[in-house]
């Protein structure tokens, strides 16, 4: 009488715990209990999932339960399970999308800083990336409706990982593609698309300086005596920059990439080669962020199309399945694309973006669409989920038949 079942059963009945564990190698079941009366409250509280009746159930039972069945129909339990699995899958879809964005963004910024390119994606642009990744991504991927096919799957164990093998394959493949594309744009893009690397100057203002340069030597003329031995057509002043480059939208090309001569017979010169010409004569009044804008725009469109790929966390090739029923996903995609166009074209110094040409827009979209193509092709890589991540009740049944039963203390007494 002084012993309790909860505290002393393993001592009173040797082998009880061993018997239970031997017949249940997968662990205990996830227990759901339904009830409507006050006397059901302890069982509802102790169960993994307590379900009470909303119409006939008492307030005590409803307070002790986890789920209240409003219509008192047991078929609603099936719907609750289906919705629970849908929410679980939606969380994993969002996690797959978020990890891909994080991996690419972190590696891109780290590599760009290490090799001396500064920040390929600046802080304000990263805030927009976070908005896409967190708020809009969660709204798009977290609103997928449940389907009856979810009930055909075995339940996951409590200890199973949120990131499955197919998800890991998806994250690695998409991240690898996007990182390679963005690094190519970072290192090779300026030469291929004929744009300036990093932050260039789109417009200069000319200072009122009296400094003169010798076109033959590219050096400053610091002695008035030298003016008498230099041909007038070979003497360069700050005002000459205004003469050759006035009204041009991108003066850095005029400064660095072109050679000029004051007359047809005078020596050709390049403003950028003149000693300290940039510092003495020019002040940048408008920056050119074309290179960074191309990288930023491509990165965003990669994530926009990656949202479609992230809708499937398994091996389904059809990533558009059921998309027409998810209006939130469609609205988020339209808003993201529209906001990106607005930020690129009108962001200016706040976003550190420069309006880009139609060609660069097409390049950004095509490269972003490539992440969707990779997302479809990678599903042909044969990767399946770990069988041990599922709760398999058949093993418990087989073990009951094949495991030799350990006799309890009562049976040992009878045998004796």
**Residue range 239-258: mean pLDDT, rounded:** 75
Confidence of residue 237 (pLDDT cuts 50, 70, 90): confident
pLDDT at 413: 44
Neighbouring CB atoms inside 10 A of 4's CB total 9
Chain mean position to CA 382: 24
**Residue range 247-274: mean pLDDT, rounded:** 75
More confident residue, 361 or 223: 361
In whole angstroms, give the CA distance from residue 13 to residue 6.
12
Confidence of residue 264 (pLDDT cuts 50, 70, 90): low
In whole angstroms, give the CA distance from residue 253 to residue 257.
5
3-state secondary structure labels for all residues of 334-390: HHHHHHHHHHHHHCHHHHCCCCCCHHHHHHHHHHHHHHHHHHHHHHHCCCCCCHHHE
Are 319 and 311 contacting, i.e. CB atoms less than 8 angstroms apart? yes
Strand partners for 69: 53
Q: What six digits make up the tokens of 35? A: 């009830």
pLDDT at 1: 56
Distances (CA, A) of 23 to 123, 192, 401: 57, 67, 9
Q: How many residues can be counted in the chain?
A: 416
pLDDT at 85: 92
Are 306 and 97 contacting, i.e. CB atoms less than 8 angstroms apart? yes
pLDDT of 47 higher than 50: yes
Distances (CA, A) of 299 to 262, 293, 344, 390, 402: 45, 10, 13, 36, 57
pLDDT of 313 higher than 80: yes
Confidence of residue 202 (pLDDT cuts 50, 70, 90): confident
Q: Which of 3-12, 75-84, 224-233, 406-415 has the highest mean pLDDT?
A: 75-84
Are 415 and 407 contacting, i.e. CB atoms less than 8 angstroms apart? yes
Mean pLDDT, all residues of the chain: 85
pLDDT > 90 in the chain, percent: 44
Lowest pLDDT segment from 12-21, 43-52, 232-241, 355-364: 12-21
pLDDT at 24: 67
Least Cα distance to 300 among 198, 348, 369, 357 occurs for 369
In whole angstroms, give the CA distance from residue 32 to residue 46.
10
More confident residue, 221 or 35: 35
**Residue range 85-113: mean pLDDT, rounded:** 94
Confidence of residue 98 (pLDDT cuts 50, 70, 90): very high
**Residues near 122 by beta carbon (within 8 Å), at least 6 away in sequence:** 292, 352
Confidence of residue 200 (pLDDT cuts 50, 70, 90): confident
Neighbouring CB atoms inside 10 A of 320's CB total 10
pLDDT of 294 higher than 90: yes
Helices 165-187 + 75-114 axis angle, to 10: 30
Per-residue model confidence as pLDDT tens digits over 359-414: 999 999 999 999 999 999 999 999 999 888 887 766 545 544 444 444 444 444 44
Lowest pLDDT segment from 33-47, 63-77, 201-215, 330-344: 201-215
First to last CA, the chain: 24
In whole angstroms, give the CA distance from residue 195 to residue 373.
28
pLDDT > 70 in the chain, percent: 86
**Residue range 148-168: mean pLDDT, rounded:** 90
Phi, psi of 69, deg, nearest 5: -85, 105
- Which helix (H) or strand (E) segment holds residue 279: the answer is helix 277-281
**Residue range 136-157: mean pLDDT, rounded:** 89
Q: What six digits make up the tokens of 45? A: 């509280």
């Amino acid at each position: 009488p002084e012993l309790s079942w909860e505290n002393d059963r393993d001592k009173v009945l040797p082998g009880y715990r061993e018997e239970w564990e031997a017949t249940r190698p997968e662990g205990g079941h996830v227990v759901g209990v339904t009830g409507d009366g006050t006397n059901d409250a302890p069982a509802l509280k102790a169960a993994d999932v307590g379900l009470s009746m909303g119409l006939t159930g008492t307030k005590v039972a409803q307070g002790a339960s986890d789920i209240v069945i409003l219509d008192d129909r047991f078929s609603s339990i099936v719907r609750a399970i289906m919705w629970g699995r849908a929410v679980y899958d939606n969380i994993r879809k969002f996690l797959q999308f978020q990890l891909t964005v994080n991996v690419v963004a972190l590696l891109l910024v780290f590599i760009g800083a290490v090799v001396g390119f500064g920040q390929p994606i600046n802080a304000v642009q990263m805030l927009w990336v976070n908005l896409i990744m967190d708020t809009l991504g969660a709204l798009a991927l977290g609103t997928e409706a449940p389907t009856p096919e979810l009930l055909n799957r075995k339940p996951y164990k409590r200890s199973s990982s949120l990131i499955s093998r197919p998800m890991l394959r998806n994250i690695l493949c998409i991240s690898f593609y996007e990182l390679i594309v963005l690094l190519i744009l970072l290192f090779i893009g300026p030469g291929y698309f004929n744009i300036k690397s990093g932050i260039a100057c789109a417009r200069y203002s000319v200072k009122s300086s009296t400094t003169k340069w010798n076109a033959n030597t590219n050096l400053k003329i610091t002695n008035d005596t030298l003016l008498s031995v230099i041909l007038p057509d070979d003497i360069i002043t700050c005002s000459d920059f205004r003469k050759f480059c006035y009204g041009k939208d991108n003066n850095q090309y005029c400064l660095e990439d072109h050679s000029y001569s004051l007359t047809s017979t005078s020596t050709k010169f390049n403003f950028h080669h003149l000693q300290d010409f940039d510092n003495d004569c020019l002040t940048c009044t408008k920056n050119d962020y074309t290179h960074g804008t191309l990288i930023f725009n491509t990165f965003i469109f990669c994530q926009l199309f990656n949202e479609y790929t992230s809708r499937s966390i398994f091996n389904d090739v059809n990533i558009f399945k059921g998309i027409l029923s998810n209006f939130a996903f469609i609205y988020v995609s339209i808003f993201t694309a529209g906001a990106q166009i607005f930020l690129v074209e009108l962001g200016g110094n706040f976003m550190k973006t420069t309006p880009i040409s139609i060609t660069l827009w097409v390049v950004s979209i095509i490269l972003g669409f490539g992440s969707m193509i990779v997302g479809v092709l990678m599903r042909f890589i044969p990767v399946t989920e770990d069988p041990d991540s599922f709760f398999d009740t058949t093993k418990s049944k087989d073990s009951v038949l094949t495991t030799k039963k350990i006799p309890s203390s009562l049976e040992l007494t009878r045998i004796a």
